[in-house]
């Protein structure tokens, strides 16, 4: 018994449901069942291939005779009917060497095509990975969605945590917000105290010449100095890049505060070694002592400390100035005030 | 344990029994949180504690509850995405059943760190199948039984699905198909909202 080969039409409809068979004259003689759905109104058999498809690439394929040159190559096709679905294709001579067989696939346009033509799983050859690609698209968007939700959640948690943070991330000293709270607390509890505003001198040049790592190293050392030279109930905070505030409770006389300031400045001026380079800084201090007679105002005290600090800077840095109303006169007059060196 | 698994338990309890029930479970489990994060990993103990608390607040054997979780996952509107992913497994019931073999691989394509037990489908006769799962996610076989039963219904077939017992990391789910086209089944289009 001779086995009769299946007609190629039947074979190809199973293996390649998106193929077309074309005669030597360029007319479609057969269309696969899935491709047929892409042109629901139009006829296929008898139409000229190039009137149904436009060849986007390679460019310039205008005539059937030119298909000879592109057999076996990757074709980019577009259906001329709306919605102008794009397809990938490959064309080859048929077994009789008279006509052509063009097979097509959706390529990247599969998402739109499946929707536009309401295709189902049965429309794809069992070997076609399109359904798996659709699965992947949905699975990935679900995972992305969960991931996005997590990111939003983490972002808002981070913001909330930052808002609640009371310490400076680098030095572990209190931050500006926490210092403001402590200052209010001192005032509310009528605790007598001194406010020392310390501004590092020459810190910027360390940062600029030796880099931020050196700068951070110096700041950590500064924080260590403050911790060592203050008492347990003193409050130290970093309120700016190179600005620190010390709240010193008690009724220490100005001379004692002068000594504290001097010790701090001396310690700051000890060069710090960073990878072989000596980092040299100093500090200027403006100090204000709470008035025992009238309840102090936080903003006023900070402003007074600023004025005293400015006087220290003006006096050549590396010194401490105690606030006195005359400093404001000197500030406006532009004359150098007297500083406690 | 993968957060997605625990989140599935949370959604099941919340969607089917209400937020108060979930709060009760968290209290029984002694959690200091009430929301599992599907994209994070939790330790094995958290998973075990969740299952123990689940059994306690549901006042039913955990096996039964796990089957309900499978049904929930394959049919609740809030988990429609998962049902769609399962339907991508096959254009018809046969293809779907055979796609269960690749379930762990399919899951891993989407979530590389979610490792599901290996599942093997055996076809004993035209009507009779069994699923063998090899793995150590507690209750997995029961969840699978509920899920497969619901998906067979989704494809419009009528079947008996039961957990065939297990031990030593192996569980069996028995499937007896009574009628292949019992109903129309539920609609499934390849294109969805995400696509």
A30 plus A114 within the same structural domain: yes
A197 plus A322 within the same structural domain: yes
- Which of A116, A71, A88, A66 lies closest to A16 in space, CA to CA? A88
A114 plus A51 within the same structural domain: yes
In the residue annotation, A232 being an active-site residue is answered as no
A43 plus A183 within the same structural domain: no
A117 plus A183 within the same structural domain: no
pLDDT digits (tens, 9 = 90+) for A235-252: 999 999 999 999 999 988
Question: In degrees to the nearest 10, what's the CA dihedral of B11, B108, B106, A88?
Answer: 120
pLDDT at A32: 95
Under the banding of pLDDT at 50, 70 and 90, the label for residue A341 is very low
CA distances from A144 to A133, A137, A139, B141, B193 (A): 16, 10, 9, 28, 14
pLDDT at A333: 57
pLDDT at B118: 93
Q: Distance, in angstroms, between A12 CA and closest chain B CA? A: 21
A233 plus A309 within the same structural domain: yes
A321 plus A229 within the same structural domain: yes
pLDDT at A318: 93
Q: Which residue range forms the structural domain that includes residue A103? A: 8-127
Per-residue pLDDT, averaged over A277-282, amounts to 94
pLDDT digits (tens, 9 = 90+) for B109-138: 888 898 899 999 999 999 999 999 998 788
Q: Cβ–Cβ of B84/A138 closer than 8 Å? A: yes
Provide the b/e sequence for A277-287 (b: ≥16 CB within 10 Å).
eebebbbbbbb
Q: Rounded to whole angstroms, how far apart are CA atoms A321 and A285?
A: 6
Residue ranges, chain B, pLDDT below 70: 193-195
pLDDT at A9: 83
pLDDT at A2 over 60: no
A28 plus A79 within the same structural domain: yes
Strands (E), chain B: 118-123, 128-134, 158-167, 170-179
B105: chain A residues, CB-CB within 8 Å: none
Per-residue pLDDT, averaged over A294-301, amounts to 87
Residue A242 sits in a domain whose CATH number is 3.30.70.270
A110: chain B residues, CB-CB within 8 Å: none
A109 plus A226 within the same structural domain: no
Per-residue pLDDT, averaged over A143-150, amounts to 90
Higher pLDDT, B115 or A267: A267
Interface size between A and B, measured as CB pairs under 8 A: 65
pLDDT at A3 over 90: no
Residue A2 lies in a domain: no
A148 plus A56 within the same structural domain: no
Q: Rounded to whole angstroms, how far apart are CA atoms A8 and A15?
A: 10
Structural domain count, chain A: 3
Residue A144 lies in a domain: yes
Residue A121 lies in a domain: yes
A191 plus A311 within the same structural domain: yes
pLDDT at A8 over 90: no
A150: chain B residues, CB-CB within 8 Å: 37-40
A190 plus A269 within the same structural domain: yes
Nearest CA in chain B to A141: B194
Residue A20 sits in a domain whose CATH number is 3.30.450.260
CB contact at 8 A, A158 and A221: no
Residue A253 lies in a domain: yes
């Amino acid at each position: 018994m001779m086995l009769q080969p299946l007609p190629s039409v039947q074979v190809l409809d199973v293996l390649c449901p998106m193929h077309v068979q074309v005669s030597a004259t360029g007319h479609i003689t057969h269309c696969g069942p899935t491709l047929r759905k892409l042109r629901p109104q139009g006829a296929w058999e008898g139409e000229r291939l190039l009137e149904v498809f436009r060849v986007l690439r390679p460019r310039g394929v205008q005539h059937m005779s030119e298909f000879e040159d592109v057999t076996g190559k990757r074709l980019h096709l577009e259906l001329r009917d709306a919605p102008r679905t794009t397809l990938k294709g490959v064309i080859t001579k048929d077994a009789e060497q008279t006509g052509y067989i063009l097979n097509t696939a959706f390529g990247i346009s599969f998402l739109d095509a499946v929707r536009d033509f309401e295709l189902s799983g049965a429309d794809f050859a069992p070997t076609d990975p399109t359904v798996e690609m659709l699965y992947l698209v949905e699975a990935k968007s679900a995972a992305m969605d969960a991931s996005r939700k997590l990111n939003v959640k983490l972002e808002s948690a981070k913001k909330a945590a930052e808002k609640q943070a009371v310490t400076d991330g680098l030095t572990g000293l209190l931050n500006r917000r926490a210092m403001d709270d402590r200052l209010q607390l001192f005032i509310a509890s009528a605790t007598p105290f001194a406010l020392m505003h310390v501004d590092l001198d020459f810190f910027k040049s360390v940062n600029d010449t030796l880099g931020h790592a050196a700068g951070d190293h110096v700041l950590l050392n500064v924080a260590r100095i403050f911790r060592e030279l203050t008492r347990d109930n003193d409050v130290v905070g970093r309120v700016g890049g190179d600005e620190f505030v010390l709240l010193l409770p008690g009724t220490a006389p100005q001379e004692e505060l002068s000594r504290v300031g001097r010790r701090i400045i001396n310690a700051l001026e000890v060069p710090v070694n960073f990878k072989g380079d000596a980092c040299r800084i100093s500090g200027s201090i403006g100090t204000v002592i709470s008035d025992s007679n009238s309840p102090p105002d936080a903003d006023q005290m900070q402003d007074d400390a600023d004025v005293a600090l400015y006087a220290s800077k003006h006096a050549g840095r590396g010194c401490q100035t105690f606030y006195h109303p005359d400093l404001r006169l000197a500030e406006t007059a532009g004359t150098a005030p007297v500083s406690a060196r | 344990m993968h957060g997605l698994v625990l989140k599935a338990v949370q959604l099941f309890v919340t969607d089917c029994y209400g937020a108060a029930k979930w709060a009760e479970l968290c209290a029984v489990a002694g959690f200091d949180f009430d929301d599992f994060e599907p994209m994070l990993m939790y330790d094995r103990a958290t998973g075990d504690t969740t299952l123990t608390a689940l059994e306690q607040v549901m006042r039913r054997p955990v096996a039964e509850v796990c089957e309900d979780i499978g049904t929930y996952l394959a049919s609740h509107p809030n988990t429609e995405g998962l049902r769609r992913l399962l339907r991508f497994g096959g254009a018809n019931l046969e293809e779907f059943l055979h796609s269960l073999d690749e379930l762990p691989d399919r899951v891993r394509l989407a979530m590389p760190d979610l490792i599901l037990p290996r599942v093997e489908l055996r076809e004993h006769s035209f009507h009779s199948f069994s699923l063998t799962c090899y793995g150590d996610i507690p209750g997995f076989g029961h969840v699978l039984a509920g899920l497969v039963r619901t998906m067979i219904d989704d494809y419009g077939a009528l079947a008996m699905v039961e957990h065939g017992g297990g031990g030593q990391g192996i569980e069996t789910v028995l499937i007896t198909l009574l009628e292949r086209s019992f109903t129309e089944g539920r609609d499934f289009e390849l294109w969805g909202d995400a696509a």
